[in-house]
Amino acid sequence: GNSVTQMEGPVTLSEEAFLTINCTYTATGYPSLFWYVQYPGEGLQLLLKATKADDKGSNKGFEATYRKETTSFHLEKGSVQVSDSAVYFCALRGRGSTLGRLYFGRGTQLTVWP
């Protein structure tokens, strides 16, 4: 079946530090992959996505590359800011009978200190 395993948090960094949040997946075929961000008291916002192997999604300085060989989609940012503090979710979109359904990881809480 489909599932997402995400690096457990919380992650605490100083401003301008490098960020990596690991995400691996299990799926039938080649799913689309996503990173969502959730700020306190809010719903989920799409951060970036990739729809096929070797695609790189990027947005607001965040990047993630779809690695078929390692079934991974790790999130990276070269220099984090206090405003990046949030919960980050890795997700995949199913195919076939589960088309249109999102499978989420457990989320990683990121706190950035000034």
Contacts with another protein by CB under 8 A lie at: 4, 6, 34, 36, 41-46, 49, 89, 91, 93, 97-107
**Distance of CA 65 to CAs 22, 33, 50, 113, Å?**
11, 9, 7, 27
CB of 67 to another protein, least distance (A): 21
Dmax of the chain from CA atoms? 46
76 contacts 19 by C-beta, under 8 angstroms: yes
CB of 105 to another protein, least distance (A): 5
CB of 96 to another protein, least distance (A): 11
Nearer to another protein, 5 or 65 (CB): 5
